[in-house]
Structure 1
């Protein structure tokens, strides 16, 4: 019963009715000029349907017309987001972009003609059923029951009175059915084109890639800061040396400040702020990572061959994060052990090599440098730049070896 009465109570039924009636306005305007609205004949009605067609097809050539029709369809043919109904809301499937191709213009022209004819048909049915209702009221009160309706009145008296509510109810259900058909037609004729669907898919892919990149950024920067802070705090407690404790606190403060800068930059991206995000660190600032690891108690032997300032920005930024994650893994899983870092820049590649002794309890083929999202992030960063990353035991040491093309 609720589904049967739904068209009577849903606001979208009446907004669709209005949308259909608006479609016949241009036909009425043209008919006022020719052939006229005074007792039109059959061919007059045909001309009313055909004369506006060239005007509509010409207007469909204007790109912005498609946007206007899409906005109207979204607002008037579909339930709002608050309406919990089975067939809505689907307004997002209607495009509000201007016509970008001749195919879009052709579909817009077909939609305008369909809206014209559907609007005229709706107006005709509405007028006829409303006139029939008035004639039933007149007949039930003993009047002549003569009017403009083409539907014959069955009789006079109580029989006509019983039919009075049937006519407006029938009109509403006819309008509900016609509105549903128009909504379905709008999805096909005003829906996104293949180019728009491809653009939406590319935008969605870019969003997913951006979210993945942000997740890696947070993992690398915040994870590194927390690892350094934990190692420093533990070393300071074990040393019980005021001078070492001061150096540890300085290292924790510097690392925490850098992590806060990274966090603020990521939050600016997430908030979609118009304010530009702060600059991401590059390999030219790798000394900060090495000093942080040394301050944690690790012996870091670093060697740089080549000019780091010649490395392209994207490669240098990702190389910084790879080096950061590699050092974080060493401190997290092996502690303050000797670390060998080699950074080499030649004419075609950037090579990063980070090695540290394996813990004594690590099997020869085991995973001593971590096996979680950090190593996966290193491999993903390298793959996105067209490079490759190798992680795992190598000659009794844990090794992270990355090659990134500079082209």
Structure 2
């Protein structure tokens, strides 16, 4: 029994009732003007359904009154957009006609069923019930037993037709295939953006923390005040750059429509190399070709790839000699970072390395390039090739 009564405790049951009643207003107004032409309201609604904005109005009203969470709920299954295709228009026309039919049915029963209950009560007391469509002769006491039935029937009609009109709204006012595709593309773009931000934070903050940890450990081991001052300066500079990257990423998350501030590119490789050298690594760098001619997206991703590769050197091998090769030629950008394999390998850190290497491969794939990582001739090597024209 509680399950049967639960719909009566939900506010959406009564807002659906109101939604159905709105159609009665249209017919009622026309009856007031000319009750001899009852075919006019359906015809007017037929032509109104072809107006693009009508679908938007009907969708917002259906969301507001037919769904539990209101018109701001995108998961309601009801679109809130104007008609774009003729399919949208024809579905809107069908929706308006069905809504008019069901609304007037509910409106009629809302008046007649309570009137029938009153007639039954009057007739059971000896009077004649004449307010409903039925004329009930008085004098039958057992009519009193039937008084609740019209009320129960009305409540069942309200709940049942309310559910039915909601299902129909989701079918006829729901997103079209074009709208679903647009929503899917938008969702995909959001996920790609979140993934990109995660990679940016991993590379930038991971690099800064690695440099800070290596510098602090080296300063403590050296016991040299001058070296300690240089180490603290390097930690300060690296931390400041990481904070700028973090602030930029947080702005993108807080204000998605805000223009993005500049991200570092390969033209700033010297700063990256100096940061690694300041952490104690011996960097042998060779740069050929014009880095300024590398397209922005390729140059930004190339900078992050080199940054992550150097971060892995410091994190997993320590301040060891490393070589960096950056070449721009024949329409491609070639990146290579290598360092001697430590003996024995340092414990732990495999999950961080795996995450960083996965990020390098993802960046390369998104730009239509390829990446190879792993041991090679006694060293750990990261090698990435990217087309300057992007994926093609």
Distance (whole Å) between structure 2 residues aligned to residue 154 and residue 215 of structure 1: 79
Does residue 1:62 correspond to 2:46, yes or no? no
Does residue 1:292 correspond to 2:281, yes or no? no
Distance (whole Å) between structure 1 residues aligned to residue 204 and residue 292 of structure 2: 22
Farther off after superposition, 27-36 or 378-387: 27-36
| Contact persistence 2:252–2:258 (CA under 8 A) | no
Distance (whole Å) between structure 1 residues aligned to residue 328 and residue 75 of structure 2: 53
> How many correspondences in the alignment?
385
TM-score by length of 1: 0.89
Q: CA deviation at 1:347?
A: 3.7
| Contact persistence 2:371–2:384 (CA under 8 A) | yes
Q: CA deviation at 1:165?
A: 2.7
Q: In the superposition, relative to structure 1, how do residues 298 and 7 fare at CA in structure 2: closer, same or farther (>3 Å)?
A: closer
Does residue 1:200 correspond to 2:183, yes or no? yes
For 2:61, the equivalent position in structure 1 comes to 72
Q: CA deviation at 1:234?
A: 0.7
For 1:40, the equivalent position in structure 2 comes to none
Q: CA deviation at 1:72?
A: 1.1
Question: Which digits, 9 at most, give the CA deviation of each residue in 1:330-376, with x for residues without a partner?
Answer: 0011111111111111141111111111112359xxx9997410011
Question: Which digits, 9 at most, give the CA deviation of each residue in 1:275-302, with x for residues without a partner?
Answer: 5443211111111110000001111111
Does residue 1:388 correspond to 2:378, yes or no? no
| Contact persistence 1:7–1:13 (CA under 8 A) | yes
Q: Unmatched 5+ residue regions in structure 1?
A: 37-46, 82-88
Question: Which digits, 9 at most, give the CA deviation of each residue in 1:45-78, with x for residues without a partner?
Answer: xx52x32222112211221111111111111112
What SS is found at the alignment partner of 2:373? Answer: strand
Q: How large is the Cα RMSD of the aligned pairs?
A: 2.2
Residue pairs, 1:179-218, within 5 angstroms: 179-218=162-201
Distance (whole Å) between structure 2 residues aligned to residue 289 and residue 24 of structure 1: 72
What SS is found at the alignment partner of 1:21? Answer: helix
Question: Which digits, 9 at most, give the CA deviation of each residue in 1:208-234, with x for residues without a partner?
Answer: 111111111111001000000000001
For 1:42, the equivalent position in structure 2 comes to none
Match for 2:42 among 35, 39, 53?
A: 53
Distance (whole Å) between structure 2 residues aligned to residue 380 and residue 343 of structure 1: 19
TM-score by length of 2: 0.93
Does residue 1:401 correspond to 2:383, yes or no? yes
Residue pairs, 1:8-407, within 5 angstroms: 8-36=8-36, 48=38, 50-80=39-69, 92-147=76-131, 149-153=132-136, 155-272=138-255, 275-361=258-344, 371-407=353-389
| Contact persistence 2:337–2:383 (CA under 8 A) | yes
What SS is found at the alignment partner of 2:170? Answer: helix
Structure 1 residue ranges, 4+ long, deviating more than 6 angstroms after superposition? 367-370
